[in-house]
Structure formats: structure tokens, C-alpha cells
């Protein structure tokens, strides 16, 4: 059995990003703030996948250790304030316009 094709790898990465397969997901009845925080987390996951960078490289970009990046990627956001998540995200997208609805 050989390696999967690039097309198959891209298909799986898209599915992971779209369906949040590696995160603990949103609560069943999330508050607007929980939805907002989850959206920021998903944007960070999407950036990592689209950029095809390692967790270590993402940690360098964000200026935090790999353990904290892992917590963000897996949606374990309890130790991150909303302010901190926003500040981390602006390191990868300084022109972002965030909206709470």
C-alpha cells in the first residue's frame, strides 16, 4: 500500500477543517461568546491547515509554546481569555475584522 495522493490528502484536510474532527467542538447550546471564541479557534485551525505549517511553526508565529497551540487547535480554550485569543489571531491576520452577532 502506497502513500495517499495529494488530492486525497487535501480532501481529508478539508473534511477535518469543515467538520471540526479534531476538536472537542462547541457546547450543545453555546452562548454568543462561546460561538465567537469557537470561531476564532476555527480561524486559527484553518490558517494552520491552509499554510501547511507544523504546530511548532504556528507556535513561533503566535509567540506561545507548542502546548498552548495544541490546546487551541483542540478547542481546549478554558485558559485563554477572549482578549488573548483575539490578540493571538491578529498575529496571523492583522487586518481581521471580527464581528459578534
Q: If residue 94 lies in a helix (H) or strand (E), which one and from where to where?
A: none
pLDDT for 93 equals 93
Instruction: Give the domain ranges of the chain.
Output: 8-19+29-90
Tens-digit pLDDT profile for residues 30-81: 888 888 898 899 999 999 999 999 999 999 999 999 999 999 999 899 999 9
Return the sign of the alpha-carbon dihedral for residues 54, 55, 58, 63. negative
CA–CA dist 45, 23 (Å, integer)? 10
Question: Is 0.85 topped by the overall pTM?
Answer: no
- Domain 8-19+29-90: give its CATH superfamily: lambda repressor-like DNA-binding domains (1.10.260.40)
Q: What is the pLDDT of residues 71-94, one digit of tens each?
A: 999 989 999 999 999 999 999 999
Residues in the chain: 101
Amino acid at each position: 500500500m502506497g502513500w495517499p495522493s495529494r488530492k486525497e490528502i487535501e480532501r481529508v484536510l478539508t473534511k477535518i477543517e469543515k467538520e471540526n474532527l479534531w476538536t472537542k467542538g462547541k457546547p450543545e447550546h453555546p452562548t454568543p461568546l462561546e460561538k465567537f471564541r469557537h470561531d476564532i479557534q476555527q480561524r486559527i485551525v484553518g490558517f494552520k491547515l491552509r499554510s501547511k505549517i507544523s504546530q511548532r511553526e504556528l507556535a513561533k508565529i503566535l509567540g506561545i509554546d507548542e502546548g498552548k497551540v495544541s490546546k487551541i487547535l483542540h478547542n481546549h480554550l478554558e485558559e485563554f481569555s477572549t482578549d488573548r485569543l483575539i490578540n493571538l489571531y491578529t498575529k496571523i491576520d492583522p487586518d481581521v475584522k471580527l464581528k459578534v452577532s
